[in-house]
């Protein structure tokens, strides 16, 4: 499952810019669904394992996570220029469009039907995020320790309502210890 990416084949900067532009323009309910679709499913720039590992690195970093992930993916594929191409694609135009749309929406916010439409979109978007998480989980094969730790992190947020950083800080040492134990045993 953990195939190395073919990093010899250079990704064009333009492909990065326009790929991430598309992500920014379609990213309803957070960019993760769209980022995974672009980078793993459509372009095969990274595999599921590499994507999940980059994502966990970025979750440990401060600031907007998807912007950080965009920087890391761009940097992994094409260094600093790749990071800049990906980040500017993801941010500049989508941000300007969003500001315009939002201003319009604030003017017409009392139109009930718009609220209903957005309610339907949000409900569907939640399903897409869960599906992307399940795909990432499936991409890791069937290691039971992975399932246990994914479940623990899930429960910490969903049922115990712990802050995200606390969940990570509490479970990370255990998860790393389990991975160390597993790799020691297989050696």
Partner 1 sequence: MTAPPASFLLSAHLALLSLISFGGVPSVLADIHNFVVTRHGWLSDREFADYFGLVQAIPGPNMILMMGFIGWKVGGLGGAVAGAAAIFGPSCTVTYGAYRLWDRFRLSPWQTVVRRGLAPLTIGLVIAGGFVMARAADHDGPSAALTLAALVLMLATRLNPLLILAAGGVVGGLDLL
Residues 78-137 that bind partner 1 (CB under 8 A): 80, 83, 87, 90-91, 94-95, 97-99, 101-102, 105-106, 109, 113, 116-137
The whole-angstrom separation of Cα 66 and Cα 93 is 16
**Residue closest to 65 by CA, chosen among 174, 178, 168, 176:** 168
Nearest-approach distance from CB 36 to partner 1, in angstroms: 9
Residues of this chain, 32-71, that bind partner 1 according to CB under 8 A? 32-34, 37, 49, 52-53, 55-68, 71
Nearer to partner 1, 3 or 148 (CB): 148
Instruction: Please report, as residue ranges, which positions from 3 to 22 form the binding site for partner 1 (by CB under 8 A).
Output: none
- Nearest 5°: the CA angle 130, 131, 132 is 90
Q: Is the Cα torsion angle 24, 25, 30, 34 positive or negative in sign?
A: negative
Q: Which of helix, strand or coil describes residue 108? A: coil
Task: Pick one of 25, 43, 47, 88: the residue that binds partner 1 (CB under 8 A).
Answer: 25
Radius of gyration over alpha carbons of the chain, in Å? Answer: 19
Residues whose CB falls within 8 Å of the CB of residue 54, separated by 6 or more in sequence, listed in order: 46, 69, 72, 73, 76
Which residues between 144 and 163 bind partner 1 (CB under 8 A)?
145-154, 156-158, 163
Is the CB of 15 or the CB of 88 nearer to partner 1? 88
Q: Could you say which of 39, 46, 76, 89 contacts partner 1 (CB under 8 A)?
A: 76
Least separation in angstroms between residue 109's CB and partner 1 is 7
- Measured from the CB atom, the residue of 40 and 153 that comes closer to partner 1 is 153
- Closer to partner 1 by CB, 14 or 154: give it: 154
Nearest approach in angstroms of CB 17 to partner 1 is 15
Length of the chain: 187
CA distances from 158 to 2, 97, 174 (A): 29, 33, 20
Which has the closest alpha carbon to 68: 56, 81, 78? 56
Q: What is the smallest separation between the CB atom of 15 and partner 1, expressed in angstroms?
A: 19
């Amino acid at each position: 499952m953990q195939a190395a990416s073919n990093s010899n084949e250079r990704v064009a900067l333009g492909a990065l810019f326009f790929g991430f532009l598309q992500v920014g323009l379609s990213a309803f309910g957070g960019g993760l669904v769209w980022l995974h679709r672009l980078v793993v499913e459509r372009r095969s720039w990274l595999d599921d394992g590499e994507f999940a590992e980059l994502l966990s690195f970025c979750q440990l970093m401060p600031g907007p996570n998807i912007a950080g992930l965009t920087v890391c993916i761009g940097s992994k594929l094409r260094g600093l220029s790749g990071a800049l191409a990906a980040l500017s694609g993801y941010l500049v135009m989508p941000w300007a469009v969003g500001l315009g749309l939002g201003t319009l929406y604030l003017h017409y916010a009392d139109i009930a039907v718009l609220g209903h439409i957005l309610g339907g979109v949000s409900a569907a978007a939640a399903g897409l995020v869960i599906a992307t998480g399940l795909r990432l989980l499936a991409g890791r094969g069937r290691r039971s320790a992975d399932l246990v730790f994914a479940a623990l992190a899930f429960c910490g947020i969903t049922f115990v309502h712990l802050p995200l950083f606390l969940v990570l800080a509490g479970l990370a040492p255990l998860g790393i210890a389990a991975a160390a134990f597993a790799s020691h045993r297989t050696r």
